[in-house]
Amino acid sequence: MQSRSALTSVPMGDDLDIYEETGHAHVLCTAALDAGIIAAPLGRALGVDVPLAPGPVMVGEDRAAMWLSPRSWLIRLPEAAEDQVMQAVLARFPERTVHASRYSDQLCWLGIEGAASADLLAAGGFISLERDGLPIGHIKRTLFADVPVLIWRRAQSDWSVAVERSRAGYLAAWIARI
Amino acid sequence: MIVIRCPYCNELRHEEELEYGGEADVVRPDPGSADDIDWTDYLYMRTNTKGVHFEQWCCRAGCGQWFKVARHTVSHEITEVIPYDKKFAHQDRH
Amino acid sequence: MAAPSNPYRVGEGGLIDRTRPLAFHFNGQRMQGYAGDTVASALIANGVSLIARSFKYHRPRGFLGSGLEDPNAMVEIRDGYGFDAAVRAGQVRLAAGMQVRSVSGWPSLNFDIGALAGYAAKFIKAGFYYKTFMWPNWHLYEPLIRRTTGFGRVDANARPHPRRQHHATCDVLIIGGGAAGIATASALGGSGLRVILADDQPQLGGSLLWSDIEIGGTSAAAWAGDRQAALDGAAAVQVLTDTVVTGAYEGNMFTLLQSFHTDGSPEAPGGIASECLWKLRAGSVVLATGSVERPLVFAGNDRPGVMLASAVRKYLAVHGVAPARELAVFTNNDAGYAAAFAALKAGVRVPAVIDVRDAPPKEFMQRLAAASVRCITGAEVIGTSGGRQLDGITVVPLGGGARQHIRCDGLALSGGATPLVHLTAHRGSKPVYKADVAAFVSGDLPEDWHAVGDACSPCSLSEALTQAHDAARAICRREGVAAPEFSPPDVAQTPGLPIQAHWRAGTGNPSDMFVDFQNDVTVQDIELAVLEGYVSVEHLKRYTTLGMGTDQGRTSNINGLAILAALTGRDMSEVGTTTFRPPYTAVRLGAIAGDRQGPLFRPERLIPAHALHVRAGAVFEDFGWQRPDWYRSNGADREAAVRAEMAAVRSTLGIFDGSPLGKIEISGPDAAAFLDRFYVSNLRTLKPGRIRYSVMTGEDGVIFDDGVVTCVDETLYLAGPTSAHADEVANRLERWRQTEWPELRVGIASVTSNWASFAVAGPRARTTLAALQPDFDVSNAAFPHMSYRAGRIDGIPVRVSRISFTGELQYEINVPARYGQGLMRRLMDISEPACGRLIGMEAWLRLRLEKGYLHVGSDTNGRTTPLDIGMARVVAGKHADFIGKRSLALAYAQSADREQLVGLRAESGQLRVGGRVLADGAMPPCRTEGYVTSACHSPTLGISIGLALIERGHSRLGERVRIFDSGTIVDAEICPPVFYDPENERLQA
């Protein structure tokens, strides 16, 4: 159900394809307590378990949960589910020990695919300082071309890179320059 | 290029991703009872160690968490990295 | 047979491709070299021996070395890709069409007016410039001196080379592709470890390429070629040629500079096509950088024709170039003999080998005798003759005796090997002196480092190969992989005899004995420095500039400090070395900048409706975000537009894009208690749906930011920091939550970019908001000033705050960013009949100035506290603690003499930001007691108004002051800072 937008269509040659991922909503969940206490009920409210440790993205049927910090998670979900999930979190946590923020417009998601994708990412920064690199299915926050990003490795040469929307134009221009 | 493994997100971070936060374990005195000397010491006086320095770092471009590091100020050797609520090894002994 | 244009090219041999001649120009003269030449080797082949004039004395200089160690051969190069102002001729690969020029020597290299300085050399000693030109001001003389010295000039029109950057990790980084590096990589080839081998030359081999030793039954060069082919085929090994490791940093991080060359084919122009700056993180590190040869120090040792023995060997073996017709050798170790044998083999006459040792290896003596070469032992060279080119040397027995003159046009020097330990020094390891090899070697190696070959300590080839093998085994052990099967090959090498340290000639004029060729530092300079008390090696360096050139003293450091040691009666180890710092060799700033130039200089931030603002004629300004400063659609020039925009807000409506304003959601049961600790105002009494303005201070009581806080409900607050501090405020809240008050149950979410935010301000603001048909009541009674409503417009979630920055009725409407352009278009449509206008930053800031609202950072500085801006009552009224409160009770914060924020009404002229308030009405120069922080012409009042920080300002209302600014004086009256609607009737309407 992922759709591609022509907004950031950068002609890159046969071994690289870059596009804007659209068609999802995003909700940012921020906890006011330690995650261990709220994780289980939060997972029920969201319809996907929230990971308690960094690294692997928790992928559910039509939504996914990403660990951002010990007390915050980014939830990707269908656009139609956004309001319902916001309400479900508030209903489950009326004192806002977990708070759901609207986040669908905060980030711009770029899909980067193809044999040359790893080289493109390596030009902008370390994908990982680990000698094993970033494992498939994992997500991390880092700097790319001096811009804070989320990098989610979907497959060997298939990446989702999220950048704050105000900086997406800069990043697209930087990529086009490469 | 200082490299530190963040104890929260478990990623190796290089210094462009990190933020330095000054000396660790500077205790904020109770503003209600601290005299002027106590308060200005808290504001401005630091150990300025040549040797192992206990300090705060933030995984700024990563998970945003503050943690504590023992770093040699001459060699930059990092001997301890601990979550913020933990004590350094030498503090445990006392 | 040598080409007629290449008089110094030997008949055969070398790694150059003689089927591919390359034409180039040197100082306008057409020349020819071959593919595989460096600019240096091609110039020598063409008979160029004078390459530069020296830095201080303008002495003629030739090629001392063959690569990055060469202190002399700086040239400028224009190639098919761009222009380089100052590069070392031995480091540049020759390409067709290159334009090479000398960078020193004016008006021409052969007739250098500055050489007159050479005759005055006795007056230009160490520290000369500083001593002579100190009064009245060095900067007066500097431009004149700079014009006659230095290297290169900048061509502002030149296109920069394309630059790339790359980040990578590997298991093992091997630095240096000579014998030791190749052997280590070969041993690790099958281990499965990811290995990167970096070497600065176009092909691997290092000194093997000019060695006459046999390895495993083949020539050393052939062995290196075979190994390189094998390594290129190994999946886990990446060989980076033309790549210099320029810096070593903590955590085994490295910077590498890789360059890509073309030599000029029909498809590609010749030159440096691009460079790539690597940042690399390695698990283990093998330092196989080898060593560099030192010259010997004697009078006239800088004359063109004098060259390092290793450079002679490289030019002969790699480039097929003989740097001389008659080559004498002066040595204190075995390496000099190899140069003599190589020269003989190439058909160069060798009149003599001078060795300071009494008893060189017998085999060498016999070989020289067989070739009728005199071997003068126990002797030294004490002088040279010739003008711009060597024509003879003077030799004398050590300790004195009869002088003899030997005719030669080349002299190969070998003063011993200096291990290249710069990279370990980058990591803070101090080199230590090892007397048996007369060299500084690495001290303690950084963790997971191994030094092999000459980089460890000058050694034989078989020792180097064994060390390489041992290093590979140790790495495999550490990584838990199978030990390598590769074993060191057999080496046929005559065992040698030790070096005999010989740091300077016993006789001769010290002012002609050059230690640092690039910076023209002589033995006399060092003597003078010692005489004046500069006996620390770091002081010597700075006083004489020894080793401070672009070659970083590669060939001069050790000789210099040995001479210092002798003059001060100390051991070498006592003197120590200076500190080596990155980069190892010159790196172009453009390589570091990479793509960060032009529009990509730094990440810029765009507001959601950016494109629509562009269409509306916005003139953008960088405020951290690209924001409209004014609109061409509102006036012919900035001033006209700004006045029209201000008038629209005061009379009808203005639409202002405030999207960058910070939006931080603070949630949880303790949200109010938490926020209350950051702001000067009491936030615990803030009711749901209400908004309060406040300021935030640092723990030192100084104002950090201001903004409004909104209570959505008891467990959700919105903090609205200024756009400049939005990220910092969020980080600050988060830091205190984590580190100081972890017990508070609160969450912090920064959502600034999720929302587009438009302010509508002016008498028609309410009808404009109503026209959007929100699902809540917008009447004055239902939605009063300083309150907040969340709801929907056309089903879209909106958040509306009624606040005012302008002094007019004003609403701030937030919609998800994707709807930003749509909202802006609708607001423009709605306001068009009422002559509403888009408002830029300049008009917005002037409107707030009329209203007397402060702008943090403009109207506050690094000392301003809430007490200074008139918030003393708010501070006094808050009983709970907040960050910085205690500091406001300190004597300095309470002092009556502080600069306080007040208004200024000009009585004549225009106030300008930065104007100084003169004390006691005196004329400058005199003490001043404050300055204008904001100023503009107020259309409402018809006069120039301003805000100012003035000593004791709050108690001086009504006082007249004189304000000095750039030569003019403006009379003004101190007044309360609110100029417009002090009763707040308009914003509450």
pLDDT in tens, C670-696: 999 999 999 999 999 999 999 999 999
**How many residues can be counted in chain A?**
178
Helix, strand, coil shares of chain B as percentages rounded to 5?
A: 15, 35, 50
d(C-alpha B82, C-alpha B8), whole Å: 9
Q: At what angle do helices C335-345 and C309-319 cross, to 10 degrees?
A: 40
Structure tokens at C223: 């062995």
Interface size, chain A vs chain C, as Cβ–Cβ contacts under 8 Å: 133
Give the residue-averaged pLDDT of C259-279: 86
- Give the gap in angstroms from C-alpha A91 to the nearest C-alpha of chain C: 13
Minimal Cα distance from A102: which residue of C? Answer: C754
The single-letter DSSP state of residue C543 is H
- C599-647 pLDDT, tens digit per residue, is 888 899 999 999 999 999 999 999 999 999 999 999 999 999 999 999 9
Give the residue-averaged pLDDT of C530-541: 93
| Contact in structure between C850 and C979 (CB atoms under 8 Å) | yes
Give the residue-averaged pLDDT of C8-20: 91
Residues in chain C whose Cβ is within 8 Å of chain B: 249-253, 279, 281, 428, 699-700, 731, 734-735, 738-740, 742, 881, 885-887, 890-891
The Cα-based distances of C782 to A6, C373, C779, C785, C800 in angstroms read: 44, 109, 5, 10, 13
Which of A7, A30, A144 should we substitute to test contact with C (largest number of C Cβ atoms within 10 Å)?
Answer: A30
Comparing CB atoms, the residue among A145, A166, A171 nearest residue C753 is: A166
Minimal Cα distance from C664: which residue of A? Answer: A101
Residue C441 pLDDT: 95
d(C-alpha C75, C-alpha C444), whole Å: 38
| Contact in structure between C977 and C934 (CB atoms under 8 Å) | no
d(C-alpha C543, C-alpha C574), whole Å: 19
Q: Can you list the positions of beta strands (E) in C242-290?
A: 243-249, 253-263, 270-287
Which residues in chain B have Cβ-Cβ distances shorter than 8 Å to A142? 11, 17, 61-62
- C346-372 pLDDT, tens digit per residue, is 999 999 999 999 999 999 999 999 999
Residue C82 pLDDT: 82
Minimal Cα distance from B28: which residue of C? Answer: C740
The Cα-based distances of C951 to C865, C898, C935, C959 in angstroms read: 13, 5, 18, 12
Comparing CB atoms, the residue among A99, A167, A173 nearest residue C668 is: A99
pLDDT at C704 over 90: yes
Residue C259 pLDDT: 92
Residue C923 pLDDT: 82
Comparing CB atoms, the residue among A53, A70, A141 nearest residue B61 is: A141
Interface size, chain B vs chain C, as Cβ–Cβ contacts under 8 Å: 53
d(C-alpha C918, C-alpha C930), whole Å: 8
Residue C127 pLDDT: 62
Structure tokens at C462: 């078989």
Q: Residue C291, Cα to own-chain centre: how many angstroms?
A: 27
Which residues in chain B have Cβ-Cβ distances shorter than 8 Å to C885? 31
Mean pLDDT of all residues belonging to chain A: 91
Which residues in chain A have Cβ-Cβ distances shorter than 8 Å to B64? 69
Structure tokens at A63: 């939504």
- C106-140 pLDDT, tens digit per residue, is 445 565 555 555 555 555 566 655 555 555 555 55
Minimal Cα distance from C699: which residue of B? Answer: B43
- The owner of tokens 């016993």 is C506
The residue among C156 and C958 whose pLDDT is bigger is: C958
What single-letter amino acid sits at C400? G
Comparing CB atoms, the residue among B1, B12, B36 nearest residue C250 is: B1
What single-letter amino acid sits at C956? R
- Give the gap in angstroms from C-alpha A106 to the nearest C-alpha of chain B: 17
Which of A67, A69, A138 should we substitute to test contact with B (largest number of B Cβ atoms within 10 Å)?
Answer: A69
Give the residue-averaged pLDDT of C220-240: 94
Q: At what angle do helices C179-188 and C461-479 cross, to 10 degrees?
A: 30
Residue of C105, C66, C27 lying closest to C318 (CA atoms): C66
The verdict on a CB contact (< 8 Å) between C739 and B76 is: no
Residue A6 pLDDT: 36
Q: Which residues contact C154 (CB under 8 A, 6 or more apart)?
A: C85
Residue C144 pLDDT: 53
- Give the gap in angstroms from C-alpha B86 to the nearest C-alpha of chain A: 16
User: Pairing mode, if any, of strands C605-606 and C625-631?
Assistant: parallel
State the first-to-last Cα distance of chain A, in angstroms, to the nearest integer.
30
Comparing CB atoms, the residue among B3, B12, B62 nearest residue A141 is: B62
The residue among C52 and C347 whose pLDDT is bigger is: C347
d(C-alpha C578, C-alpha C545), whole Å: 12
Give the residue-averaged pLDDT of C268-287: 92
Residue C37's pLDDT band, with cuts at 50, 70 and 90, is very high
What single-letter amino acid sits at A18? I
**How many residues can be counted in chain C?**
989
- B10-46 pLDDT, tens digit per residue, is 999 999 999 999 999 999 999 999 999 999 999 999 9
- Residue C308, strand partner residues: C413
Residue C106 pLDDT: 47
- C559-569 pLDDT, tens digit per residue, is 999 999 999 99
d(C-alpha C186, C-alpha C465), whole Å: 11
pLDDT at C232 over 80: yes
Q: Residue C825, Cα to own-chain centre: how many angstroms?
A: 45
Structure tokens at C164: 């790339």
| Contact in structure between C89 and C75 (CB atoms under 8 Å) | yes
Structure tokens at C715: 């467990």
Which residues in chain C have Cβ-Cβ distances shorter than 8 Å to B31? 881, 885-886
Which of B17, B66, B85 should we substitute to test contact with A (largest number of A Cβ atoms within 10 Å)?
Answer: B17
Residue C494 pLDDT: 77
Task: List the chains bordering chain A where 3 or more Cβ pairs fall under 8 Å.
Answer: B, C
d(C-alpha C629, C-alpha C621), whole Å: 6
Q: Is A34 on the interface with B (CB under 8 A)?
A: no
Q: Which residues contact B23 (CB under 8 A, 6 or more apart)?
A: B46, B47, B53, B54, B55, B56
- B40-93 pLDDT, tens digit per residue, is 999 999 999 999 999 999 999 999 999 999 999 988 899 999 999 999 998 876
Residue A63's pLDDT band, with cuts at 50, 70 and 90, is very high
pLDDT at C877 over 80: yes
Residue B39 pLDDT: 98
The residue among A81 and C153 whose pLDDT is bigger is: A81
d(C-alpha C617, C-alpha C620), whole Å: 9
pLDDT at A23 over 50: yes
Give the residue-averaged pLDDT of C333-342: 96
Minimal Cα distance from A134: which residue of B? Answer: B11
User: Pairing mode, if any, of strands C327-331 and C410-414?
Assistant: parallel
